[in-house]
Every structure is written in structure tokens, then in C-alpha cells.
Structure 1
Amino acid sequence: MADLLTHVLVAYALGTVASWRLEWLSKRWIAVAMVGAVLPDLNRIGLFVADPAVEGILGAPFAIDALQTLGGIIVLAGLGALAFDRRWMRAYGLLLAGGLSHLLLDAVKRYADGHAGTWLFPVTWYRHPTPNLYVSSDPAVLLVAASVAFAVWAVDRRWADDHEPA
């Protein structure tokens, strides 16, 4: 759970900082990016549903672990963007950005063999060596993410109060 919350908080912080420059990036759109940060963890559905069950429903080969890859995020963001009427391109971009922030954060965490997963699929199967910056279950990572998100929130609130029309 700490890993999932960390990804959501990082997406919030990145989205809020981006909103300082992009006028159209409102709190609602930041929330869309935060949802995008959850998309790669949909592969956890594999704990409850086996690949053959999904293959039977879809009628095509399917691997749930593929959801935590670049290709999986591209597809999931596209499916999520279908829920938006006229602003589907913006929604797609923000869902994709949130998912990419998740994948990039996971690209530097510690793995037992020292190499990241194949998160760049379908571009490449290459598993790059990681700098082993953190373990996803470490509560300190969540504490750092929460602190950064809180600091960004505080600056954003202060800036909004200072620039409120009289």
C-alpha cells in the first residue's frame, strides 16, 4: 500500500508544480494524472485472476504483468481516456504522464538481481541495471513522498492566497 500511495503523491506533486506554469492544468486534471499513476499497479489483479481466465474472456493471448510496462500504460491510458467526451486527448496525456511517473520511479528502485523489469516493452525487452535507490516497501520512501507532496501543497496554497483577486 505504501508503494501505491507513494506513486499517487509523486503524481500529485509533479502535477501541481506543472500547474504553476500551465493555466489549464486545474486540480481536476491533476486528479486524472494521479489516477494514471495507479494504472501500472493494475497488474496486481493477477493475484486474483489468472492469465488463462483473461485470455478466455478476450479470446487472445494476454499477460497481466504486461500492464506494468510502457505498452500497458499506453493501452490503459487510451481505455481510460474513452471516459472523457471532448477532452479525451488531454485526459489521455495526463493518464499517460501519471503512468510514466510511476514507471520511472519504479525504474530506480532496488530489485533482487539488480536489474529493473522489462518496463520499456514493447520498445525493448532490455532490463537496465538500477541504481538501487530504494525498496518499495520501505516506509521512509512514503515519508519522503508525503513530505514533498505536503511542501508542494503548502507552497501552492500560499501562492494561491497571494495571487487571489481582490
Structure 2
Amino acid sequence: MAELLSHVLIAYALFTIASWRLEWLTKRWVAIGMIGALLPDLNRIGMFVDDATIETALGVPFGIDALHTLGGVILLSGIGALVLTEAHRRAFGVLLAGALTHLLTDGLKAYADAEAGAWLYPFTWYRHPTPNLYVSADQSVLLVTGLLAITVFLVDYRSH
């Protein structure tokens, strides 16, 4: 849970900082970007439902782990953009940008084989070397992202 919250806090900080320059990036769009940061972790539904059940429901082959890839978040961002009643293209871009903050942050995690997951699928199976900056279970990551988000919040609050 700490890692999931960290992804949301990172997205909050980045989108809020970007909103200082981009007039259209209101608090509503910051929130949508934060939702985008959650999209890759929808693959966690695999803890409760197996691929065969989803395949039966959809009628097509399906791998739940593909949701935590670039192709998966493009698909999920498209579906999410269709849910909104207006500004579909902007919603797609903001959701995708939020999801990319998640994937890029995960690309810095420590992995046993020192290579990140194949998050660039379906474009390539390449697994880039990772700098092994953090372990996802490390609580200090949540502390750092929490302090970053609080700092950004206070700066944003004082500037308005």
C-alpha cells in the first residue's frame, strides 16, 4: 500500500508543479493525473481473479499483467478518457501522463536481476538496466514522497 500511495503523491507533486505554468491544468486535471498514476496497479486484480475468468468474460485471450505495461496503460487511459463527458483527448493525455509517472518510477526500483520489467510491451520486450534506487516495500520511499507532496502543497497554497 505504501508504494501505491507513493505513486499517487509523486503524480500530485508533478502535476501541481506543472499547473503553475499550464493554466488549463486545474485541480480537476491534477486529480485525473493522480488517477492515471493508479492505472498500472490495476493488474493487482489478478490476486482475486485469474486470467481464465477474465478471458471467459471478455471472450478473448487476456493477461492481467499486461496492464502494468505501456500498452496496458494506453488502453486503460483510452477507456478512462471515454468515461469523461468532455475533453476526451486531454483526459487521455493526462491519464497517460499519470500512468507514465508510475511506470517510470517503477523503472528505478531494485530488481533481483538488476533489470526492470518489460514495461515497454507491446512495443518491445527490452528490459533496461535499473539503477536499483529503492525497494518497493521500503517505508522511507513513502516518507520522502509524502514530504515532497506536503512541500508542493504548501508552496501551492501560499501562492494562491
Shorter-chain TM-score above 0.5: yes
Partner in structure 1 of residue 140 of structure 2: 140
Partner in structure 1 of residue 6 of structure 2: 6
- Deviation track 1:110-133 (CA, whole Å, cap 9, x = no partner) reads 011111100000110011110000
**Structure 2: gaps (5+ residues):** none
Partner in structure 2 of residue 55 of structure 1: 55
Deviation for aligned residue 1:88: 1.0
| Matched length | 160
Structure 1 CA distance, aligned partners of 2:25 and 2:126? 34
Is residue 64 of structure 1 aligned with residue 64 of structure 2? yes
- Deviation track 1:24-71 (CA, whole Å, cap 9, x = no partner) reads 111111000000000000000000000011111111111000000000
Partner in structure 1 of residue 44 of structure 2: 44
Larger radius of gyration: 1
- Deviation track 1:96-115 (CA, whole Å, cap 9, x = no partner) reads 00000000000010011111
Segments ≥4 residues shifted beyond 4 Å:
none
**Secondary structure at the counterpart of residue 140 of structure 2:** helix
Structure 2 CA distance, aligned partners of 1:84 and 1:115? 37
- Aligned-CA RMSD value: 0.6
Is residue 122 of structure 1 aligned with residue 122 of structure 2? yes
Structure 1 CA distance, aligned partners of 2:51 and 2:112? 24
Is residue 98 of structure 1 aligned with residue 98 of structure 2? yes
Deviation for aligned residue 1:86: 2.1
Identity %: 63
Partner in structure 1 of residue 149 of structure 2: 149
Partner in structure 2 of residue 84 of structure 1: 84
Partner in structure 1 of residue 16 of structure 2: 16
Structure 1 CA distance, aligned partners of 2:45 and 2:112? 23
Structure 2 CA distance, aligned partners of 1:128 and 1:92? 26
**Secondary structure at the counterpart of residue 25 of structure 1:** coil
Partner in structure 2 of residue 111 of structure 1: 111
Structure 1 CA distance, aligned partners of 2:86 and 2:4? 29
**Structure 1: gaps (5+ residues):** 161-166
Structure 1 CA distance, aligned partners of 2:115 and 2:56? 32
Structure 1 CA distance, aligned partners of 2:148 and 2:156? 12
